[in-house]
Structures are given as C-alpha cells and as structure tokens.
Amino acid sequence: MRKSIFLLSIIAVLALALPAFADEAEDYIDEEVAEWTEIANNNDFVILDTIVEMVRDEVTIRMELAPGVYHFYSSGGLHVEDLDLYISDAEGMDINSDTLVDKIPIVVILLDEPTIVDIRVDAWSYEAGYDEGYYCLLITCEDDGDILEVFE
C-alpha cells in the first residue's frame, strides 16, 4: 500500500512538472524568435516568414524565391545541441549551408532569378535524455526578395 501511494505521488509530481518543461521550451524558442526578429529589423531586412516547429531529425521546406539577397536565421530550442541549415536548389545542388557544431545556423544567399529552393533544418544532437526539440527559422531579405510559392 505504501509503495502504491509513493508511486502515485511520483506520477503526480511528474505530471505536474511536464507542462512546466514544455512551457520553458516554448518560452526559450519564443525568445530566440524575438532576438532574430530584432536583428532583422535592426538591419532593415524584411521578414518573409517565421517558422517554429518540433524537429526530431530533419525538416525540409520547398519554396520558390524571387531574385534577391536572403538571410536565413535559425536556432535550436532548449534541448537541441547541434542544428545545421542547408539551402539547395530543386536539383539538390548546394547553394549554401551552415554546418558548424552549434545550434544557431545562419545562411545568406543571393539569387539572380526566381529559384525553387529546399531549406533543410537538420538536428544532429540533443541534450542527454532528449530526442527532439523546437527550432525556429526566420526567412528574411535585404531588398525586393519575396516568397513566390510554398510547396507542400
């Protein structure tokens, strides 16, 4: 009987703590988005899209971009240790990437013509005990760049 009460107490404490961990992870990634937004605004860049999702291994987004200079800012969330960012064309040819062992990849590209690009965010490692986490990605441009189409 005492063991059952003890186990139920532990389960209750864990159940109450899990939402707090989720809130902490969401708050962390929201702060990252705010920081990247401030950097983009301070540089007079136009923010074209902001994406916040969970990542386990990799996420790929395909879109057509107008000619322009683009800055892609990304951050791994609270439990992500290493996050990479790759930009390639529709044929899979690398345009640019950031594969440093950190969780804040930044990539800049120049497009001379409308181009379909694949934006791949790839999580390589997490803190011990975690196998997924939030990431954010801001797609910004310096000039008349624009997202022409997003492919599902």
Torsional class of 92: left (φ above 0), alpha (ψ -120 to 50), beta (otherwise): left
Which residue's entry shows tokens 């000039």?
Answer: 143
Choice between 4 and 66, residue whose per-residue pLDDT is larger:
66
- pLDDT given at position 22: 59
Name which of 120, 48, 68, 58 is nearest 89 in CA terms.
Answer: 120
pTM: 0.83
pLDDT digit string (tens) for 87-111?
999 999 999 999 999 999 999 999 9
Residue 66 has pLDDT above 60, yes or no: yes
| Both structure tokens of 129 | 């005990």
Residue 5 has pLDDT above 50, yes or no: no
Q: Alpha-carbon distance 133 to 11, whole Å? A: 23
Q: In what order do the strands lie in the sheet with 133-141?
A: 46-55, 133-141, 68-76, 106-111
Confidence of residue 55 (pLDDT cuts 50, 70, 90): confident
- pLDDT given at position 104: 97
Residue 4 has pLDDT above 60, yes or no: no
> What's the N-to-C CA distance of the chain in angstroms?
54
Structural domain spans, the chain:
2-151
Residue type, 151: F
Cα 82–chain centre separation: 11
pLDDT digit string (tens) for 73-91?
999 998 999 999 999 999 9
pLDDT digit string (tens) for 19-48?
444 589 899 999 999 999 999 999 999 999
The domain defined by 2-151 folds into Jelly Rolls (2.60.120)
